Copies of this chain bind each other. A is one copy, B any other.
Amino acid sequence: MTDHKQPPSGEDSLIARYFRPLATDPGAFNLADDAALFKPSGDDIVVTTDAIVEGVHFLADDPPDTVARKALRVNLSDLAAKGATPAGFVLTIALRAVDDAWLTLFARGLGSDAGLFGCPLLGGDTVSTPGPVMISIAAFGRVPAGKMVHRSGAKPGDRVVVTGTIGDATLGLDILKGGAAAALADAGAKAMLIGRYRVPQPRNALAKAVRDHAHAAIDVSDGLAGDLAKLCRVSGVSAAIDAPSIPLSATAAALLAGGTAGIETIVSGGDDYEILCAIPEDGFEVFAHAAGHAGVSVTSIGTFIAGSPVPRFLDAQGREIALPRLSYSHF
């Protein structure tokens, strides 16, 4: 009789060590099945998928826990903008080799955020690649039947409202790439901007308020101007934005005032992961109140109007600001 003990294959062992501890949901079957089970609850299910690639959406020397958190959070941000409550995700990760130190930190960051946002790992696939590390996540959320918030639905007269602050992430990336913002003297301010690039702050706390009050919403991932244009296009409206009203962090405002950053970089840079939404005039006060309760700042930056889908950004004197591009595109 031979001893039939054989170690599990590399992939199985990798999954067991790093990802099984995260699969706390009963529908994940300890990652020991071909598929996961997602129990219906009567709610509609919202599905989104976003991938991040080393050297493109994150940098090779970004801390592994922030890479994991970014991969999950860019998807959570989509769910938030649709008014959905996170319910779970599946992960595919392509790796050149099994780097235990990197994977330990990656799994720790992923597990931490899965717990924080109530979005458990349901299943996944680990594959080898000779190329850059790539992480693709498909995330699921629940909304009461018929209540998903769409990009369409904005009406002339609605306020253009945005959460948080715009432009910090693109300035953080500029620092990491040794751009003009790298000259910033304040180490804390630099760390804040870099943090906004590496670890988005998806506004899932605002999902219910968005569902209750927004005519339309989109997550701002590719640049405020471009994402606003997308919302305008499918809603069949235009927008007039009062650029000085765009919410900026004190650091971004100082870089703008000092000429280190231009307004066109701030509104087209991408990686903000804020929610942009259309709130009817008579609902704004209640929405702002609900947002305050949820701990999310919201700012009215303009008005949806009839007209061309490309929004106009106006300066303090009401002059139109020329935007050479509306958003970031990798192609």
Question: Could you tell me which A residues sit within 8 Å of B by CB distance?
Answer: 2, 4-6, 9-12, 14, 29, 32-53, 55-57, 78-79, 81-82, 84, 90-92, 94-95, 97-98, 122-132, 134, 136, 138, 140-141, 148, 150-152, 218-219, 222, 226, 229-230, 233-234, 238, 308-310, 312, 320, 322, 326-331
Q: Are B331 and A98 in contact (CB under 8 A)?
A: yes
> A35: which of B6, B52, B84, B94 is its contact (CB, 8 Å)?
B84
> A150: which of B29, B130, B150 is its contact (CB, 8 Å)?
B29
Q: Are B9 and A226 in contact (CB under 8 A)?
A: yes
A-B contact pairs, 10 of them (CB 8 A): A2-B322, A4-B308, A4-B309, A9-B327, A33-B82, A34-B81, A35-B79, A36-B46, A39-B44, A49-B138
Chain B residues near A90 (CB-CB < 8 A)? 47-49, 138
Bound-complex Cα distance A126 to B134 (A): 12
**10 pairs of A and B residues whose beta carbons are closest in the complex:** A131-B131, A10-B331, A4-B310, A138-B138, A9-B329, A128-B330, A35-B48, A40-B40, A136-B136, A38-B45
Number of copies: 2
> A33: which of B127, B140, B151 is its contact (CB, 8 Å)?
B151
Minimum CB distance partner of A329 in chain B: B9
Bound-complex Cα distance A10 to B51 (A): 17
Min CB distance, A21 to chain B, in Å?
17
Bound-complex Cα distance A130 to B36 (A): 32
> A326: which of B6, B98, B238 is its contact (CB, 8 Å)?
B6
Bound-complex Cα distance A103 to B62 (A): 32
Q: A51-B94, A134-B134 are in contact. Are A331 and B128 (CB under 8 A)?
A: yes
Minimum CB distance partner of A126 in chain B: B331
Q: Are A49 and B91 in contact (CB under 8 A)?
A: yes
Q: Are B134 and A129 in contact (CB under 8 A)?
A: yes
Chain B residues near A134 (CB-CB < 8 A)? 94, 127, 129, 131, 134, 136
Q: Are B78 and A35 in contact (CB under 8 A)?
A: yes
Bound-complex Cα distance A124 to B122 (A): 19
Chain B residues near A92 (CB-CB < 8 A)? 49-51, 136
Bound-complex Cα distance A131 to B130 (A): 8
Chain B residues near A122 (CB-CB < 8 A)? 47
Min CB distance, A174 to chain B, in Å?
19
Q: A2-B320, A138-B138, A150-B29 are in contact. Are A46 and B51 (CB under 8 A)?
A: no
Given contacts A37-B47, A38-B44, A40-B41, 17 further A-B contacts (CB under 8 A): A9-B326, A9-B329, A10-B331, A11-B329, A32-B233, A33-B151, A33-B152, A33-B234, A39-B45, A40-B40, A40-B45, A45-B45, A53-B131, A95-B331, A128-B330, A134-B134, A136-B136
Min CB distance, A48 to chain B, in Å?
4
Min CB distance, A209 to chain B, in Å?
17
